[in-house]
Chains A and B, each alone.
Chain A
């Protein structure tokens, strides 16, 4: 109790000498309004997307499935291209090992 009385006394004696920045009140109210409006209002497009779309019920699972499917499809395409390129490379290495004529002679 004694502590509280001491604190009260200090607070009563404390005088604020610094002045508030211009339009301080308006800025505080604007921030309060923004928070009240929820995550959709304001913020970057990513914040809006994360806040409003991804967290929608059911969307997260659709998003994760779609990203996984895209990763698998891209992996399959790139693997196919790599395999095809390596096979061509190896077949040409075989041909070059047994063909005495340089390729330009045949062109």
Chain B
């Protein structure tokens, strides 16, 4: 009886040791990424198999892009505030609102164009095949996500024909 309990306990300990060991080994690469200075860039390096030189060039591009991106965001934010003021005025001037909207759309388009340019530059620092994969992936994660709305409208034409308004 006593021996049986020892065997039972040894099994539990062995199972726990197996679990812990495999879990520790299996997550070691992730722990390494998380402990990096910039984990997201470390992930990019691993995911797209960048060499030391490629990673250094890509990191420089990333660091140079961030302040430009922040400046554009700030301009769009200012334009948003302007639009808010125009729209909240006692007698909103539609012509001015239209111009402000067009200006914000131009800023956003410029922002997206700059972003795409950055993606292309980053992809050019990678081996050709990885660069292609990076562009396909980042496109889906950023500007191509906007297509979801168009896709929904395309797959549901009744939405615009007024046939789905029945209660």
Question: Contact residue range for chain A?
Answer: 35 or more
Please tell me which one of the listed residues A63, A75, A94, A99 contacts residue B41 in the complex, with CB atoms under 8 A apart.
A94
B83 on the A face (CB < 8 A): no
A90 on the B face (CB < 8 A): yes
Q: Which of A3-11, A17-25, A78-86 contacts B (4 or more CB under 8 A)?
A: A78-86
Contacts of A55 in B (CB 8 A): 3-4, 7
Q: Are A71 and B26 in contact (CB under 8 A)?
A: no
Interface bits B39-51 vs A (CB < 8 Å: 1, else 0): 1111110010000
A to B contact number (C-beta, < 8 Å): 133
Report the bound CA distance from A50 to B7 in whole Å.
Answer: 9
B20 on the A face (CB < 8 A): yes
Q: Which 3 A-B pairs have the closest CB atoms?
A: A79-B26, A71-B18, A75-B22
Chain A interface residues (CB < 8 Å from chain B): 39, 47, 49-51, 54-55, 60, 63-64, 67-72, 74-76, 78-80, 82-83, 86-87, 90-91, 93-95, 97-101, 103, 105-107
What are 19 of the A-B contact pairs (CB < 8 Å)? A51-B1, A54-B4, A54-B7, A67-B18, A68-B18, A70-B15, A71-B18, A71-B22, A75-B19, A75-B23, A78-B23, A83-B30, A87-B30, A90-B42, A91-B47, A95-B138, A100-B73, A106-B142, A106-B148
Besides A55-B7, A71-B19, A79-B22, 16 new A-B residue pairs in contact (Cβ under 8 A), listed by A number? A50-B1, A50-B5, A50-B7, A75-B20, A75-B22, A76-B23, A79-B25, A82-B23, A83-B30, A87-B30, A87-B43, A90-B39, A95-B138, A100-B69, A100-B76, A101-B111
